[in-house]
Amino acid sequence: MNTGRTVFAQLLELLPRRAFSLAVRRYGGARKLRRFSCMDQLLCMTFAQLTGRTSLRETVSCLRALGSRRYHSGIRGTPARSTLAEANERRDFGIFMDTALSMIASARMELPVDADLKRLDIHAFAIDSTTIDLCLKLFPWAHFRRRKAGIKAHTMIDLRVGIPVFMRVSHAKIADVSVLDQIVFQAGAFYVMDRGYIDFA
């Protein structure tokens, strides 16, 4: 029964708690900011993502506005903006990456497979990248062109189930072909990519 439970609390049940705890231990996430745990950080950032918040200040303000509903959503308290910023800066991103990879592995086993690929009995992946434009004044470290900043998201999608299984965010100047060295290829699988990934030399 989901009566009286928020949608956010129901979504949190999909989080692999054991995988997250193991990742926190693996990367030493509990060493700093003891009062603001890695789980608290994950819940705050998940809330920000799902509700479309554009800044930490806006995220904290919205969490405060929830009042008692915040507790029923699974969030223990509202952190200060500086605490949340410090956690995002200091904590190892590997904690959240490993948790996401665990969720992706579970989803790949449960999602229905594309009928044509199932009939052919093959594994197929699509690899591509996209450039994300950024404001040069706000992100000077991501200088891309004369008056432009940007980053590049490199993604590999499992075509059998239609979800990403690999993603790397790099500087926009990084060539697409260089990311192939970071992908562990599966024997016998088909990989679809454009000419940006060709390097005959």
Tokens of 9: 């609390």
Pairs from 169-173 (Cβ < 8 Å, separation ≥ 24): 171/142, 171/144, 172/131, 172/132, 172/142, 172/144, 173/144
Q: What pLDDT does residue 113 have?
A: 85
Q: Where are the domains of the chain?
A: 7-96, 111-197
Q: By three-state DSSP, how is residue 45 classified?
A: helix
User: Which one-letter amino acid corresponds to residue 6?
Assistant: T
Distances in Å between the Cα of 175 and the Cα atoms of 10, 23, 130, 155 are: 41, 31, 11, 13
d(C-alpha 190, C-alpha 166), whole Å:
15
d(C-alpha 99, C-alpha 23), whole Å:
7
Q: What pLDDT does residue 5 have?
A: 75
pLDDT tens digit string along 171-201?
999 999 999 999 989 999 999 999 888 887 7
pLDDT tens digit string along 87-99?
888 889 899 989 9
Helix (H) or strand (E) holding 166: strand 163-171
Q: What pLDDT does residue 32 have?
A: 67
Give every residue of the chain whose pLDDT is below 70, as ranges. Answer: 1-4, 32-34
